[in-house]
């Protein structure tokens, strides 16, 4: 038995996986809340992560009907790019700044100038640093909270912090490290000189965690944490990774030819590559995977946060919201929403705000606004998929995950806008499943088991045939016209 944890923006999910049968036996969850401000601040109290971890684990074990003593290893997936700062005693210094935080955009712009713009950043790091990446959060902390900055002893990402809580060891793996902005994806190493530019004393470089290969474990769970969670005190903790890297494993996207699209708080599209083919498009992040390769990826910062905002505005439950979407035609009778409530990364508009365009006295209704927000968020993913396609990625089929993937009408909209068949995996919590599969892989490596990652994915990842959705030719043509209008509106921004 293996425990998979996914610490996301809205909450933590846990699953119990029987790696022999490939079945998920139980799952649980615990909530998080955001600390938000109009200036783009998006932070979280990390104590909520620990409380949610405990709640989710208890629920998953109870639903599975198994003893925690049967858990052989734990894998942790975490929201990428977040910054967790610890002092010398291991205490958290301030709330974690998250992936969706755009308060540090000015600091990111200055660092990008230092690197020689997007082109210079791509040449040096293999990625173009963007607002939300970790590096600008460090410069922001130095300038806005110098007292906190002076006390930094450990710099961790969210999943690194949870691994530290579990084991007492500070480590990171290549996939999640790729999104920091101070990591070279080609050489798989920290760019210490960039941190020394922020602080010439070398203070930050000394605070970095040790880098691990994906199949390595961080170590054994601490006895007091095993007791707290009711787990096997001999259980090991795998290297873990970012939520997108774990989502790739959890959808079987560990070899060329697959594409995963996530309809979560953020929207992501990613594919596997066996070498670091860095795109000249700055919006394509050629991250490392957590399976030994690379993971070319685009990320939009507005997806279910935007659809939920409209749904809640009209006090609709999810079923009612889906019915409203279905009542409106393709293109929502000319209503177009640019849903940039958190600014936007792809397209690269960090300071943008949301807009509703094309309203008149005949089309201002609930159904059109509901459809417009779903179409607007999906157009952002199409924009990103086109960038991936331009860099050589093939999209013969899309594996769809995340909360939005549960909606049949949204699946059809995705298939039509992308002009590509889509299918969901049987288990919707792909990041938690990927974390559990990676835990089984690490445990097998340490215990001489013959099951490699590919075999584990074949056994544990299955597709939901009932969810398979084909694009409809006339819809594809209609959506191309609406998408062209969307692109024109972007140019105006």
Task: Catalogue the active-site residues.
Answer: 243
Quickly count: other Cβ atoms within 10 Å of residue 20's Cβ: 11
- Distance between CA atoms of 10 and 29, rounded to whole angstroms? 10
- Distance between CA atoms of 173 and 178, rounded to whole angstroms? 9
- Distance between CA atoms of 378 and 306, rounded to whole angstroms? 11
What DSSP letter does each residue of 464-477 carry, written as one string? EEEEEEPPPHHHHH
Element (H, E) at 338: strand 336-338
Report residue 299 as tokens. Answer: 């990320």
Quickly count: other Cβ atoms within 10 Å of residue 470's Cβ: 12
Asked whether the beta carbons of 67 and 35 are under 8 A apart, the reply is no
Where b means 16+ CB within 10 Å and e means fewer, 139-166 reads bbbbeeeeeebebbbbbbbbbbbbbbbb
Widest CA span of the chain, in angstroms?
A: 69
Residue ranges in 208-317 assigned as alpha helix (H): 223-229, 243-250, 304-313
3-class SS of residue 469: strand
- Distance between CA atoms of 38 and 28, rounded to whole angstroms? 32
Tell me the backbone φ, ψ of residue 288, rounded to 5 degrees: -75, 150
- Distance between CA atoms of 118 and 149, rounded to whole angstroms? 27
């Amino acid at each position: 038995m293996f425990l998979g944890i996914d610490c996301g923006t809205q909450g933590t999910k846990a699953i119990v996986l029987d790696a022999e049968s490939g079945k998920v036996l139980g799952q649980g969850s615990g909530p998080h809340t955001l600390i938000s401000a109009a200036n783009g601040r998006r932070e979280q109290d990390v104590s909520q992560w620990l409380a949610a971890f405990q709640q989710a684990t208890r629920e998953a074990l109870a639903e599975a009907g198994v003893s925690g003593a049967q858990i052989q290893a734990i894998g942790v997936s975490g929201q990428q790019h977040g910054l967790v700062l610890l002092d010398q005693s291991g205490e958290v210094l301030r709330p974690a700044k998250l992936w969706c935080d755009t308060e540090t955009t000015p600091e990111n712009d200055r660092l990008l100038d230092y690197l020689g713009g997007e082109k210079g950043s791509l040449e040096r790091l293999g990625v173009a640093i963007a607002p939300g990446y970790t590096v600008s959060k460090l410069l922001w902390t130095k300038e806005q909270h110098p007292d906190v900055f002076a006390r930094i002893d450990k710099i961790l990402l969210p999943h690194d912090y949870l691994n530290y809580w579990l084991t007492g060891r500070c480590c990171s793996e290549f996939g999640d490290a790729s999104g920091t902005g101070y990591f070279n994806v080609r050489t798989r190493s920290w760019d210490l000189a960039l941190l020394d530019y922020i602080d010439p004393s070398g203070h930050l470089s000394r605070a970095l965690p040790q880098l691990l290969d994906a199949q390595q474990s961080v170590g054994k769970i601490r006895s007091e944490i095993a007791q707290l969670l009711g787990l096997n005190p001999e259980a090991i903790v795998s290297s873990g990774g970012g939520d997108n890297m774990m989502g790739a494993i959890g959808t079987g996207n560990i070899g060329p030819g697959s594409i995963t699209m996530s309809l979560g708080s953020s929207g992501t599209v990613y594919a596997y590559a066996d070498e670091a083919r860095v795109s000249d498009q700055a919006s394509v992040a050629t991250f490392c995977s957590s399976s030994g390769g690379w993971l070319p990826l685009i990320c939009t910062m507005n997806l279910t946060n935007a659809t939920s905002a409209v749904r809640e505005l009209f006090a609709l439950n999810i079923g009612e919201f889906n019915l409203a979407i279905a009542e409106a035609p393709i293109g929502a009778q000319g209503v177009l929403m640019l849903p940039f409530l958190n600014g936007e990364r792809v397209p690269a508009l960090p300071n943008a705000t949301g807009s509703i365009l094309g309203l008149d006295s005949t089309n201002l209704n609930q159904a059109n606004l509901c459809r417009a927000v779903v179409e607007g968020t999906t157009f952002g993913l199409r924009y990103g998929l086109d960038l991936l396609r331009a860099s050589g990625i093939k999209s013969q089929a899309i594996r769809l995950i995340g909360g939005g993937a549960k909606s049949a009408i949204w699946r059809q909209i995705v298939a039509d806008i992308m002009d590509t068949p889509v299918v969901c995996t049987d288990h919707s919590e792909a990041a938690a499943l990927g974390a559990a599969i990676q835990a089984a892989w690490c445990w097998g490596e340490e215990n001489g088991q013959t099951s490699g990652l590919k075999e584990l994915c074949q056994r544990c990842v299955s597709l939901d045939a009932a969810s398979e959705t084909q694009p409809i030719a006339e819809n594809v043509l209609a959506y191309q016209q609406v998408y062209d209008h969307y692109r024109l509106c972007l140019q105006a921004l």
